[in-house]
Structure 1
Amino acid sequence: MTRTLELLPLAGTGFGLADDQDDVRGMTVLDVRDHRVGEVEEILLDADERRARMLVVASGGVLGLGDHHRLVPVDAVSGVRAHVRLERSDLHVESGFDYDPDLPGPVDYRAVYNYFGYTPFWEDGYREPYFLDRRG
């Protein structure tokens, strides 16, 4: 059975995150090799638990023009300090899934989780990540 769900952008929804520390918008994203991937532009959350589920990472472009926006599950975050560190390479993110909030219809988040190699948060066996491990 395929489950269609909607994740909401944190900005402008009126929802807050269950833990305010999970708000990493504006932070630089580095990959597993310390290469700059981009910046967290938005956080997508599930309204039921008010938990961050996807990061929208902006990269490329100048002054916001020509930016690429990619979806990255929070499960791919290995830690947060002065930046967000991922368990994947910049190339993995760059060849991943585009995010465009203006496109109609539901996004297939299962495909995003599968691409990154994680169990979707709505399935049995999902292990809740603590992506704000401040030791990383």
Structure 2
Amino acid sequence: MVSITHELVPLGAGSLGLAREEDDVRGMAVLDVRDHRVGEVEEILVDPVERRARLLVVSSGGILGLDDHHRLVPVDAVSRVRAHVRLERSDLHVEAGFEYQPEPQGPVDYSPVYSYFGYAPFWEHGYQEPYFHDRRR
């Protein structure tokens, strides 16, 4: 099986901005489908070609930054953004997901993250931009 890697850049690295600045949800609280607090958006991984948010890094747990968990969540799992980010999944689903590695050793295959959440990856033919990019509704 051939793994597919696509470079994603942390928005906080400052090397590029989002195509739509209103999609910058860093610092916002993240709630799950049951209104349970999951954590907050610590970082956004951006597709450098289209400058679109592709994955959120959700930080949870710990006190004063100690023992924090940083999980990857596709923006496709976001049902809406208002005063907080609302997910279509439970906090338990996110917590059991994939840990974010800020300094990976080599290319990263994000396919398993998308598969775990049940979404097609953004690089597949026919991909539809998620609702996340339209916050007016």
Normalised to the residue count of structure 2, the TM-score between the two structures is: 0.94
2:53 aligned partner: 52
| 1:29 CA drift (Å) | 0.1
Query: Which secondary structure does the structure 2 equivalent of 1:114 belong to?
Result: helix
* Distance in 2 between residues matched to 1:42 and 1:92, nearest whole Å: 19
Q: Which runs of 5+ in 2 are unaligned?
A: none
* Distance in 2 between residues matched to 1:134 and 1:37, nearest whole Å: 23
Count of residues paired in the alignment: 135
Mean alpha-carbon deviation: is it higher for 2-11 or for 32-41? 2-11
1:29-75 Cα shifts (integer Å, max 9, x gaps): 00000000000000000100000000000000001111000000000
2:37 aligned partner: 36
1:12 aligned partner: 13
2:28 aligned partner: 27
* Distance in 2 between residues matched to 1:108 and 1:94, nearest whole Å: 20
Query: Which secondary structure does the structure 1 equivalent of 2:106 belong to?
Result: coil
| 1:134 CA drift (Å) | 4.0
Cα distance change, pair 134–32 in 1 and its aligned pair in 2 (3 A): farther
Matched, 1:133 2:128: no
Q: Which runs of 4+ in 1 moved over 2 A?
A: 132-135
1:64 aligned partner: 65
| 1:17 CA drift (Å) | 0.2
* Distance in 2 between residues matched to 1:101 and 1:12, nearest whole Å: 11
* Distance in 2 between residues matched to 1:14 and 1:102, nearest whole Å: 16
**% identical aligned pairs:** 73
* Distance in 1 between residues matched to 2:72 and 2:13, nearest whole Å: 19
Residue 66 of structure 1 aligns with an amino acid whose one-letter code is: D
* Distance in 2 between residues matched to 1:75 and 1:96, nearest whole Å: 15
Query: Which secondary structure does the structure 2 equivalent of 1:11 belong to?
Result: helix
